[in-house]
Amino acid sequence: MQVAVVGAGRWGALHAAKLAALPGVTLAAVVDADARRAAALAARHPGARPWSAWRSCRRR
C-alpha cells in the first residue's frame, strides 16, 4: 500500500517514520505547503516524492 503524509513538521516526520516501518507500506509522498520542508522529509525516505499541494500528489 502506498501512503502519503500531509504536513512535514514534527508530527508529519513522526507519522512518516511509523508508516514507512509498517510491513507492506511504502511512503510514496510527503506534502507540505513549504516545498523545501517537504523535500527535506522526503529525502529521508527513499522513494518518497515531495509535493507542495495534496491535490497534485493524489493523482499520481
The predicted-structure confidence for 5-23, as pLDDT tens digits, reads as follows 999 999 999 999 999 999 9
Q: What is the mean pLDDT of residues 17-43?
A: 96
Among 40, 42, 34, 37, residue whose Cα is nearest residue 16:
42
Helices 10-20 & 35-43, crossing angle to 10 degrees?
30
User: What dotted CATH number matches 2-57?
Assistant: 3.40.50.720
Which of the four pLDDT bands, split at 50, 70 and 90, describes residue 51?
A: very high
Q: With 70 as the cut, is the pLDDT of residue 60 above it?
A: no
How many other β-carbons are positioned within 10 Å of the β-carbon of residue 18?
12
